[in-house]
Amino acid sequence: MELFGFEIKRRKTQEDLPSFTAAESDDGAVIVGSGGVTGQYVDLEGSAKSEGELVTRYRNMAQHPECDLAIDDIVNEVVVLNDTGSIVELNLDDLDQPDSIKKRIREEFDNVIELLDFNNLGYDIFRRWYVDGRIYYHAIIDEKNPRQGIQELRHIDPRKIRKVKKENKKRDPKTGVTLRLPPDEFYMYNEKAFKKGYAGANATGDQGVRIARDSIIHCTSGLIDSSSKLVLGHMHKAIKPLNQLRILEDAAVIYRISRAPERRIFYIDVGNLPKMKAEQYLRDMMVKHKNRLVYDAGSGEIRDDRKFMTMLEDFWLPRREGGRGTEITSLPGGQNLGEMDDVLYFQKNLYKALNVPVSRLDPETGFSLGRASEISRDELKFAKFIDRLRLRFSMLFHKCLERQLILTGVITSEDWGEFKSSIKYEFSQDNHFAEMRDAEIMRERISTLNDIENYVGKYYSQEWVRKNVLQQSDDDIEEMNKQMQEEGVDDEEIDQDQQPSQNDEQ
């Protein structure tokens, strides 16, 4: 199978061993059965079309003012510039490798950040990933000299590309069970997107260009629909609240416009005139008392539109002989037009669906710099939600760094399997509530330590206090002892702190 792009050769691992069940994934790939004698038709129309519609819907939702404000709050919390001008930094403290290897990994990570231009376009990149629910990059390399690494990371519209997994099956001759081998993975790219009736689709169903798996860097939101076939975005659960809010806002506007003015009701006495003459007499009275001259901004002319009747005009009703004479009454306007509780209710539902604290909906609410005990639970949940988004979005850096390190020869694909769990990404923090929470926790620990100080050595040991009150681990205790020795604290004093005094034991 000819594929465009490059592919990294990997050794067979435990993940490549056969199994009786297919592996689950959250990349939204289309599963294609293995080909037979007559071949296999790759049907990308339904799934790809639905995914493209979702992306378009998410982008239209992002244009709504309330959604735009909520998304802006989320992106501003995730993407923060620190004092050095960087948004994310690499943490290799857990990586047990020589400093030379760590230095090379940091250099290649800086190259990845530069290829993405993340320090300048971080806001736009993360917003694009959050709104679309997925992001694709084409890793362009020099095939004549792949050791130079990735030359360019080019963004791809998610509506034009789709991941495909072709199943590989074989029957076990001993048990007769059908075993599933690792699928053949590749991407399908179509410049005109995957649309129904696309003329470029040939008889085999290949709607576009087949691209090798390693040439595409793909990161999704991690949310899957109930059928596990379609990747959803974080904005998906806000579709219903937003539609309800739009309908209610439109209904409120229409009701206010139609019921705000007071209109008159003309009861015209037509006596015993025949029907035709009565209607003519009523029309004459309407023309006589109504004057609707309209200015046409397109042509600059004054136009007479008295033949049209709108919802804001007066009502003209005939009255027969025997009733009261001609009468003019007024129809009062709508009442309680200033109530917006129902609209605010759906606005709050929209913010809840996007996991944004409702307190941020009111622009008049000031920013509180109080104690952590005064911080609302919604803000704490929002801070944890931001951490989850950062962790998921870090997969983009993880995949880019993997390609870069293997191509440049810093490590091999086998080494990456050992390194990847020790590589962490630290985003710059700008959440005041998280800082106040940590400061409050430390303040409470110190206060508890002061209260229990008189009982240390009598009922509690130093080690118990450090582990249960200060929540220090064995590594923390060892590090603190080392630092105190470097700062000039005698070993005997540290030993005395670790052991209760003889008087207390007696």
Summarize pLDDT for 342-396 with one digit per residue, the tens: 888 888 888 888 988 888 777 655 545 445 455 567 877 888 899 999 999 999 9
218 has a pLDDT exceeding 80? yes
CA dist., res. 77 & res. 382, Å (int): 10
Three-class SS of residue 227?
coil
The string of DSSP letters for 168-180 reads: EEEE-TTT-PEEE
Domain extents for the chain? 14-235+378-433, 261-331, 434-505
302 has a pLDDT exceeding 70? no
Average of pLDDT values for 397-414? Answer: 90
Average of pLDDT values for 416-433? Answer: 81
Give the highest mean pLDDT range of 75-84, 173-182, 237-246, 321-330: 237-246
Nearest one of 208, 212, 211 to 200, comparing CA atoms? 208
Average of pLDDT values for 328-334? Answer: 63
* Confidence grade of residue 328 (pLDDT, cut at 50, 70, 90): low
Q: Are 5 and 214 in contact (CB under 8 A)?
A: yes
Of the chain, the percentage scoring pLDDT greater than 90 comes to 17
114 has a pLDDT exceeding 90? yes
Estimate to the nearest angstrom the gap between the alpha carbon of 420 and the chain centroid: 24
Nearest one of 58, 147, 71, 154 to 410, comparing CA atoms? 147
314 has a pLDDT exceeding 90? no
Average of pLDDT values for 44-54? Answer: 56
11 has a pLDDT exceeding 80? no
Query: What is the predicted pLDDT for the residue at 379?
Result: 79
Q: How many Cβ atoms from other residues are within 10 Å of residue 215's Cβ?
A: 20
pLDDT tens per residue across span 252-296: 877 777 666 666 777 777 777 888 888 888 788 777 666 566 666
Nearest one of 282, 232, 299 to 58, comparing CA atoms? 232
32 has a pLDDT exceeding 90? no
CA dist., res. 347 & res. 242, Å (int): 8
162 has a pLDDT exceeding 70? yes
Q: Are 423 and 114 in contact (CB under 8 A)?
A: no
Return phi, psi of residue 450, to 5°: -65, -35
Count Cβ neighbours within 10 Å for each residue of 309-335 and write b for 16 or more, e otherwise: eeeeeeebebbeeeeeeeeeeeeeeee
Query: What is the predicted pLDDT for the residue at 48?
Result: 37
465 has a pLDDT exceeding 90? no
